[in-house]
A and B are shown apart, each in its own frame.
Chain A
Amino acid sequence: MPRITIVSALLLVFGLAAAGSAQAVDVEKTFKFYCAQCHGLDGKGKGPNVTKDFATTPRNFTDPKEMNKLTDGDIKTAIKDGGPAVSKSELMPPWGKTLTDEEIDALVGYIRKLCQCKGKQG
């Protein structure tokens, strides 16, 4: 009996880990495909589009000081409706017609992982 519990507990843990990593792989792929062209593959804001005439540096997602100023809601609005929706540069595109709500929520989580910060609450 105890052995079965241990085995099933292990199974459960592995199952969750596998589900978790499948999810992580997907959002990482989404980020690298759509966002890295400006924010960089590492999220530091230095993608290939950021040439010398790129007027506004894309946010560095690994900078907790900057990223802590934003709530999860701010991040979501910026992704969905673009920079101008949060009084930022129009160079940040609106992705609301490209990505689903689930994909955008996953990206918010991914960005929070990059900054290792929780952000402003609210």
Chain B
Amino acid sequence: MRLASTVSLAAAMLLVASAGQADPAAGEKLFTGKNCNGCHYTQGPAQEKTIDDQLAKKGPELWYAGSKFQKAWLKGWLADPKPIRPLKYNSLTEKNPGNHPKLSAADAGAVTDYLMTLTTPEVKKGAAGKGKKLKGKLVFMKKMPCKGCHQYPKRKKVLGGLSGPSLVGASKRLNPDWIYAYMMKPKVFKPVKMMPVFTGILNEVDVKNVTTFIGKFK
């Protein structure tokens, strides 16, 4: 009796441990098996050199996914994807059809474990620091055109432009250190994009402030 319960306790513990274990290799297999790489490239550095290169892509690059996304968000989104970009990828005229491939919860977990291994040293932990939220708001809302292209939350409403990814929910979706690196080193992440380059226009402090502001979007 005593022995049996010890054994089953040990077995239960083993089960729990293996369920919680990351398995990036299985996730990578699923990623290729489900043809995710037909639309997303996972090998850095950035490959786009011209407007045509960018327009030829069928989905956003994922080679720095582990530095960009928050793990819990990624897992949830892969199992239940909701539109992030209001417009269809690389289109100015069509709405996002909201038909992204969906994964089972288990597959989403494995693929997340794989995608979270795709990191880049260009994103430094803690780099975003603590900016001033109200100064960041001034940059986003008054000094710069950010709101012209990005949706953002205001109380219960969603306002803003449609050509960029929605920033609603950025507090759960994006890693602030990645936002900071993305703004400071645009050529590393996005050599060709519809968003203007702000380095030399916004300084380090401005970027920290605006990162802090975006980093609180619910």
Residues of A within 8 A of B (CB): 29-30, 32-34, 36-38, 41, 47-51, 53-54, 82-84, 90-98
Query: Does B37 have its Cβ within 8 Å of any Cβ on chain A?
Result: no
CA of A56 to CA of B137, assembled, Å: 19
With A37-B92, A92-B145 as contacts: A48 and B51 at CB distance below 8 Å:
no
Chain B 134-149 near chain A by CB (<8 Å), digits 1 or 0: 0000000011110111
B-side residues, CB < 8 A to A, are: 51-52, 54-55, 87, 92-93, 142-145, 147-149, 159-163, 194, 196-201
Contact of B145 among A30, A34, A91, A98 (CB under 8 A): A91
Interchain CB contact under 8 A, B143 and A53: no
User: Knowing that A29-B51, A48-B93, A91-B145 are A-B contacts, what are 12 other residue pairs whose CB atoms are under 8 Å apart, sorted by A's residue number?
Assistant: A33-B55, A37-B92, A37-B194, A38-B163, A47-B163, A49-B148, A49-B163, A53-B160, A82-B145, A90-B143, A93-B196, A98-B197
Q: Which of B143, B161, B197, B201 sits near A54, CB closer than 8 Å?
A: B161
Select which of B51, B147, B199 is within 8 A of A97 by beta carbon: B199
A94 to B201, CA, bound (A): 8
> When chains A and B are docked, how far (Å) is the Cα of A50 from the Cα of B92?
12
Contacts of A93 in B (CB 8 A): 144-145, 148, 196
Residues in A with CB closer than 8 Å to B163 are: 37-38, 47-49
Q: Tell whether, in the assembled complex, residue A53 and residue B159 are in contact, meaning their CB atoms are under 8 Å apart.
A: yes
Contact check: which of B161, B194, B200 meets A51 at CB < 8 Å?
A: B161
In the complex formed, the residue of B with least CB distance to A81 is B201
Cross-interface CB contact of B51 among A30, A54, A84, cutoff 8 Å:
A30
